[in-house]
Amino acid sequence: MTAGGCLLAMSYYGAEKAIAHYNVMGPVKAALEAAVRYMASNSGWRVSASTPFAGSGKTRAASGIEHFDELLERAVHEAPEHRLVTLDDVGSFAAFLVSDAAKAITGNIAYVDAGYHVVG
């Protein structure tokens, strides 16, 4: 990335908090978040991770989490915005991160979770 650019990673709340049935993926995501910080520090690149929690989490990987529907229901109930996050929400944030408007942001782990992280 000698001509600029931005490296983005997708993490998950389970990197920070123990989430039932998330198992080994919690430590894996924690390692990913540490890698984001170290890559930003050592490379001088723009490197960030977003941490969507609910809604956009309906992925193939999430389908392996037992009782995932209950986790989503709890997120809607507890999140300050009382809604699930959409893929558009995550995509809009990613577009912001790669834009010049975010050119001074690096090494950041940002939550895109309708506020769930402040109460979860």
Which whole number is the average pLDDT over 3-12?
89
Mean residue pLDDT across the chain: 87
Whole-structure pTM value: 0.85
Query: What's the pLDDT tens digit per position in 53-69?
Result: 655 556 666 667 777 78
| Helical (H) or strand (E) element with 94 | helix 87-98
- Nearest CA to 5 among 51, 47, 49? 47
Active site residues: 12, 22
**At a CB cut-off of 8 Å and minimum separation 6, what does 118 contact?**
80
- Residue 55 is predicted with a pLDDT of 54
